Amino acid sequence: MPDAIELRKRYIQESGRRKAIACSLVDDQWLGQLQTADSIFLVASGVFYYLEEVQLRAFLVKLASTLPGSEILFDACSPRGASGEQEGYQSRRHG
């Protein structure tokens, strides 16, 4: 995570409206680093695939209760789509 954030900061500069935080999504610590009285727009790209359902639910509940009125944009894949991607990866790897 810290490596990815440092790389991201090279190409996407932080501003008063944009902040990159090197912290696990399931760690509530990052919520305390936000300095806003308003709602936020959160982008979570390519991250939810790595969470268990219980972790994702807990995150979304915590986000909604901590920052009501906020919005989140994320990518998703059905279990069938994820299974097909894994099969494609295996065939490319061994093909």
**Mind listing the pLDDT tens digit for each residue in 19-70?**
788 888 888 888 777 777 677 888 888 888 888 889 999 999 988 888 888 8
Q: Residue 26 region, left (φ>0) first, then alpha (ψ -120 to 50), else beta?
A: alpha
Neighbours of 45 (CB within 10 A): 8
Which residue range is the domain that position 51 belongs to? Answer: 2-94
How much helix, strand and coil, in percent to the nearest 5, is found in the chain? 50, 10, 40
Q: How many domains does the chain have?
A: 1
**Token pair in block for residue 9:** 């900061």
**Token pair in block for residue 61:** 């509940």
Average pLDDT over residues 1-11: 83
Spatial CB neighbours of 88, under 8 Å, sequence gap ≥ 6: none
